[in-house]
Structure 1
Amino acid sequence: MANTYTQIHVQAVFSVQNRLCAIRPEWENDLYRYITGIIQNNGHKLLAINGMPDHVHILFGLET
């Protein structure tokens, strides 16, 4: 259909197995950059990423 627009936002939460505090502050930013690269390489737009030592929250937009 002409002139239509679709916008889908997805929130994903990934947790470490058994909720162990395994995400170390020293490499937390590297992990976030890696996840960002995966999302962008698949043609989507990262809106927010953050987390705690035992889980990560990701908000991204699906590009259609």
Structure 2
Amino acid sequence: MSTHHGILLHVVFSTKFRKPCLGDAWRDDLFAYIGGIVKEHKSTLLKAGGIEDHVHLLLRIHPEFAISKTVQLLKANSSKWINEQRKLTGKFEWQRGYGAFSVSQSMVDAVKKYLANQREHHQKHTFETEYLGFLAKHAIEYDPQYVFELEIVR
């Protein structure tokens, strides 16, 4: 028997301390670059979305790779690209961690629409509220003190 797979994931991660630094002028270029990384990892970027402080990716991933390895590769290479392209004046970093949520094939169009409408969505909801909503919707237990990195200002 042949091996077949259709593993769909909605992956979410934010900028370090959720700083709003992903520029409108180059965010689509970032998504295109991420699409190339995904393709080299035997996966497919079906849709990307986000605003200044976070990204959402709808991925069809390859079972040969662990989800954590795939996301690590995406974050490391995309942050390197942002820094090499000098998109920001300081050093860019993603926040530690990520969310990865399973998506059924029947929900792909709805997720694509959701990702396409991030700007409108975030006029009413913060990233924090959105992310905690994903955790609740997927029945994921968490300790609130460890969900988001907080910047300590002295």
Settle same-fold status: TM greater than 0.5. yes
Superposition deviation, residue 7 in structure 1:
1.4
Query: What is the CA-CA distance between 1:3 and the residue it aligns to?
Result: 5.1
Higher percent of residues as strand:
1
- 2:48 matched to which residue of 1? 49
CA RMSD after TM alignment: 1.4
When normalised by structure 2's length, the TM-score is: 0.38
Q: Which runs of 5+ in 2 are unaligned?
A: 64-154
Distance 1:54 1:8 in 2: 26
Residue by residue over 1:11-55, the C-alpha shift from the partner in whole angstroms, topping out at 9 and shown as x without a partner, is: 111200111101011111111111111001111111110101100
Higher Rg of the two aligned structures: 2
CA positional deviation for 1:63: 3.3
State the identity %.
33
Aligned residues: 63
TM-score (norm 1): 0.85
Equivalent in the alignment of 2:13 = 14
CA gap of 1:20–1:8, structure 2 versus 1, over 3 A, is same
Query: SS of the residue aligned with 2:29?
Result: helix
Moved over 2 A (4+): 3-6
